[in-house]
Amino acid sequence: MNDVMKQRFRIYRRQRGLFYLFDSLTGKRESLKTTDKLTAERLLHAKNEAEQTPAVNLQIARAYLVAADAQIGKRTWQTVMEEIPKLKTGSTRVRWLVAIKSADFNSLRDLPLLETRSEHFLAVLEKGGVATNSFLRRIHRFALDMNWLPWPILPRNRWPALKFKPKRAISREEHERILAGEKNSEWHAFYELLWHLGGAQSDVAKLVASDIDWTAKTISYTRMKTGSVSVVHFGEATAEILRSRPQEGVLFPMIALWKEADRGKAFIRRCKLVGVSGVSLHCYRYAWAERAKQCGYPERFAQEALGHNSKAVHRAYARNATMQLPSLESFEKKSQVGKILPFPAPENAPTPVPAAAQS
């Protein structure tokens, strides 16, 4: 009798036959969603046992999980981090390989997944920055998707918000200062082509002469990041740059051999020498998209040029660029659209009689 009195939970039945659980400590009542007395008693027993011996129940839960997956008790976060890059390709795989080497993840590497608590994640998030937050989210999600974790370590609404630094487009004046300070003809042409095409730096660096269709005046290439085909129409200014490059093979033989990170560092050094800050090579994509919106270039054309999933296009057309619309009057005068031309009167047609004369 004394053991029963010490139990925190008890069950009772309501009129409709459903069993409810009563918590004697908090006074809360919870439906067990069953009318079967045996099932209700089993749930009651599990609740009271879990309350009295939480450590033992954790071991029991692990025993059940190990029976379903023999490696679940041995799998560490290092195992998870090593699996993810195997599913990636190209520059995305390179970024993952660099990210998982971050010292911010050192405290998690040898920690078994089943022994991980929320405070372990919170300590890593407090120490790291935005990149740590972003990659840890994806590592955690990967472990859940693979059923290597039976439950989330941190609920979705408990993750610190991702606060990225504001990104901006490179201005025309900044671009011209960079060109003025660049004496190497290959780098000079490379920056100019980024301005006119708005391509990603690796895509532009790897362009070959056969990508150019001089008849249609287009440059077409397969994007390294997404695998989608990008087709960009070019004008005379771009044509002049292309004529200055090799007419066979790679357009930028030296730059194409450089790693993406090295090209980025070279650009930062050039910017510092001419007094430009806060921009990267990727800012040329934002500049192209914002220029496109400002001059009224249709969004579907911009998406065709930069890619339908381009963040630069979505960002510029959503909020960051101000579109200057002409008045309807000036637009009509320029295009002659909407101009009403009088139709000639048919021969022997009667002259209209004013309404006043008819009366």
Task: Tell me the per-residue pLDDT of 218-276, one tens digit each, with 9 for 90 and over.
Answer: 898 888 877 778 888 888 999 999 999 999 999 999 999 999 889 999 999 999 999 99
pLDDT score, position 164:
77
pLDDT score, position 151:
83
For residues 114-141, give the mean pLDDT. Answer: 93
Range with the lowest mean pLDDT among 5-9, 63-67, 106-110, 163-167?
63-67
pLDDT score, position 214:
94
Length of the chain: 359
Angstrom distance (rounded) from CA 113 to CA 300: 46
Angstrom distance (rounded) from CA 280 to CA 269: 11
Sequence-distant (6+) residues with CB within 8 A of 228 are 222, 307, 308, 309
Angstrom distance (rounded) from CA 182 to CA 193: 14
pLDDT score, position 280:
92
Q: Is the pLDDT of residue 3 over 50?
A: no
User: 3-state class of 199 per DSSP?
Assistant: coil
Task: Tell me the per-residue pLDDT of 32-62, one tens digit each, with 9 for 90 and over.
Answer: 888 998 998 988 888 887 776 665 565 666 6
206: amino acid identity, one letter: K
pLDDT score, position 62:
62
Residue 318: DSSP 8-state: I
Percent of the chain with pLDDT over 90: 41
pLDDT score, position 338:
46
Closest CA to 252 of 199, 311, 313, 305: 199
Percent of the chain with pLDDT over 70: 77
Categorize the per-residue pLDDT at 183 as very low, low, confident or very high, splitting at 50, 70 and 90: very high
Give the residue with greater pLDDT, 122 vs 301: 122
DSSP H stretches of helix in 128-234? 130-145, 172-181, 185-197, 201-205
Task: Tell me the per-residue pLDDT of 263-284, one tens digit each, with 9 for 90 and over.
Answer: 999 999 999 999 999 999 999 9
pTM: 0.58
The distance in angstroms from the start CA to the end CA of the chain is 112
Angstrom distance (rounded) from CA 43 to CA 46: 5
User: 3-state class of 213 per DSSP?
Assistant: strand
For residues 99-116, give the mean pLDDT. Answer: 92
Q: Is the pLDDT of residue 9 over 90?
A: no
Residue 250: DSSP 8-state: B
Task: Please give the biggest Cα pair distance in the chain.
Answer: 118
pLDDT score, position 240:
95
